[in-house]
Amino acid sequence: MSREDALARDAADPLAGFRDRYVVEDGDRIYVDGNSLGRLPTAGRAAIEATTEEWGRDLVGGWSRWIDAPLRAGDEIARLIGARPGEVIVCDSVTVNLYKLAWAALDVRQGAIVVHPDDFPTDRYVLAGLAAARDRSVTEPGTVGTAALVCRSLVDFRSGELLDGPRVTAEAHQAGALMLWDLCHAAGAVPVELEAWGADLAVGCTYKYLNAGPGAPAFLYVRQELQELLRSPIQGWFSHADQFAMGPDYEPAPGIVRFLAGTPGIIGVDAVQAGAAEVAAAGIQPLRAKSIALTELAIALHDERLAPLGFQLGTPRDPARRGSHVSFRHPDAWRICQALIEQAHVIPDFRPADVIRFGLPAVYTRFVDVYDAIDRLAVLVEREAHHAYDLRRARVT
The catalytic residue positions are 120, 182, 207-208, 357
Applying CB under 8 A, the span of 80-88, 139-147, 235-243, 383-391 interacting with a copy of itself comes to 235-243
Helix (H/G/I), strand (E/B), else coil: 312: strand
Nearest to a copy of itself of 12, 59 (CB atom): 59
- Residue 91's nearest CA partner among 217, 256, 229 is 217
182: contact with a copy of itself by CB under 8 A: no
Which of positions 210-229 make contact with a copy of itself (CB under 8 A)? 213-218
Q: Where are the beta strands (DSSP E) in the chain?
A: 30-31, 88-91, 112-115, 138-139, 147-153, 178-182, 201-204, 218-222, 312-313, 325-329, 346-347, 349-351, 355-359
Residues in contact with a copy of itself, counted by CB under 8 A, come to a total of 82
Q: Which residues pair with 151 in a beta bridge?
A: 115, 180
Residues pairing with 91 in the sheet: 218
User: Which residues in 184-193 are b (16+ Cβ under 10 Å) and which e?
Assistant: bbbbbbbebe
Q: Is 325 within 8 Å of 359 (Cβ atoms)?
A: yes
Among 20, 244, 391, 392, binds a copy of itself (CB under 8 A): 244
Q: Mark residues 139-168: x for contact with a copy of itself by CB under 8 A, - for none.
A: ------------------------------
Rank residues 18 and 31 by Cβ distance to a copy of itself and give the closer one: 31
Q: Which CB atom, from 128 or from 281, has the smaller least distance to a copy of itself?
A: 128
CB of 311: closest distance to a copy of itself in angstroms? Answer: 21
Footprint on residues 326-355 left by a copy of itself (CB under 8 A): 347, 349, 351-352
Residue pair 327/348 in contact (Cβ under 8 Å)? The answer is no
Residues 262-321 that bind a copy of itself (CB under 8 A): 262-269, 271
The contact pattern for a copy of itself, residues 22-61, with x = CB under 8 A and - = no contact, is -x-x-----x-x--xx-xx----x--xx-xx--xxx-xxx
Cα–Cα distances in Å, from 80 out to 133, 163, 195, 264, 350?
34, 17, 12, 22, 28
46 within 8 A of 280, measured Cβ to Cβ: no
CB of 350 to a copy of itself, least distance (A): 9
Which of residues 44 and 165 has its CB atom nearest to a copy of itself in the complex? 44
